[in-house]
Structure formats: C-alpha cells, structure tokens
Amino acid sequence: MNVWNRLWRIIVEIFMPVSGHWLREGLRLMAASCAYLLAAAVIWAAVYRLVAALQALYIPIPQPVGLLMLLLGIPYFVIWFIFGKKFGSHLDAKPALYGLFIGIIGIIPDTAYVIYVYMQLVKYSYATELERISIIILSVFCIVLPIMSMLGTVDGFNDAKKTSHHI
C-alpha cells in the first residue's frame, strides 16, 4: 500500500499547480486532463469489452454508459475544482478571470475529443441514440469544467486571503 501512496503523491505533485502563472498552469491542467481522458478511455474500453463478452454469452446486460459517466465524470469535476483551488491560492488578484483562463486552456483536449467523436458519428447512420446522448453529455463537460476551475480558483483565492489576514 505504501508504494501506491507514494505513486499517488508523485502524480499529484506532477499535475498540481505550483504558481499563479495562468498560461503555465493552464498547460499543466491540459496535461492532467489528457492523462485523465486516457485513463478513463482505458477503463471505459475494459468495461465495454467485458460487457460485450457477457452479451456474446447471451447474458442480457446493458452497456453501463450512464454509470460510467457518473463514475468517471464526478471525479473529473472534483479534480478540476481542486486544481483551481490550489491555483487560486497562488494568485494576488483576479481569480475568476485567471481561473476561467486555465479552464479554457485545460479544456482543449476534451473539446478536440468531442469534435473528433462527433465527426465519427456523423459518418455512420447507425449511431445509436445512446451514443448521441453521450456526445451531448461530453459537450456539457466542455462548458462546465472551465466553470469548475474558475469556482475552485475563487475559493482558493478567498481561502488564501483569509489565512493571510490572520497571520
């Protein structure tokens, strides 16, 4: 267990903001987002293949798209908020603006992924309604995630401001 804790600390150190520089930290958030998307895609593919194998054995089990969206989406929102909060603790002014800036930069991989998947779905007429709903949900992520980073930044800025007044 100690190895996993150490590995987790290393990952957090790599991806968490260390300054109030919005461009550098926005790129760091983009890298963290790419890593999360990759990990989520691996989990999604593994679950999809497992369910497909069970379906091939005539076990009537639906694809758990909604469950996976919840299990992968909620931590994603929390990570963006925590990132923003840590970033906000390094700022001197304008936390909402800089939080939105890092969110817009960080969302670039997600937006590219949504556009790519949408272009793939348009090619095929047999795309199911469930796949179309998934694209809508992922598109909403592209709007809400920058807001989460902005809210986290404002919260971290306010917390840092409160602790600096008490010193």
pLDDT for 25-63, tens place per residue?
999 999 998 888 888 888 888 888 888 888 889 988 887
Question: Which contacts qualify for 133-139: CB closer than 8 Å, 24 or more apart?
Answer: 133/65, 134/65, 134/69, 137/69, 137/73, 138/110, 138/113, 138/114, 139/114
Using the predicted structure, report yes or no on whether residue 132 has a pLDDT greater than 90: no
> Count of domains in the chain?
1
Tell me the average pLDDT across 122-148: 79
- What residues make up the domain containing 129? 3-162
144 half-sphere exposure, CB direction, 13 A CA radius: 12
Q: What is the pLDDT of residue 2?
A: 82
Residue 61 placed within a domain: yes
Provide the pLDDT confidence category of residue 143 given band limits of 50, 70 and 90: very high
For residue 54, give the H/E element and its range. Answer: helix 22-56
Q: What is the pLDDT of residue 133?
A: 75
Residue 95 placed within a domain: yes
pLDDT for 71-120, tens place per residue?
788 888 999 999 999 999 999 999 999 999 999 999 998 898 888 878 87
Q: What is the pLDDT of residue 137?
A: 80
Ramachandran angles phi, psi of 157, nearest 5°: -65, -45
Residue 167 placed within a domain: no
Q: What is the pLDDT of residue 166?
A: 59
* 39 vs 29: CA distance, rounded Å: 15
Residue 17 placed within a domain: yes
Of the given ranges (22-31, 64-73, 133-142), which has the lowest mean pLDDT?
64-73
Q: What is the pLDDT of residue 126?
A: 63
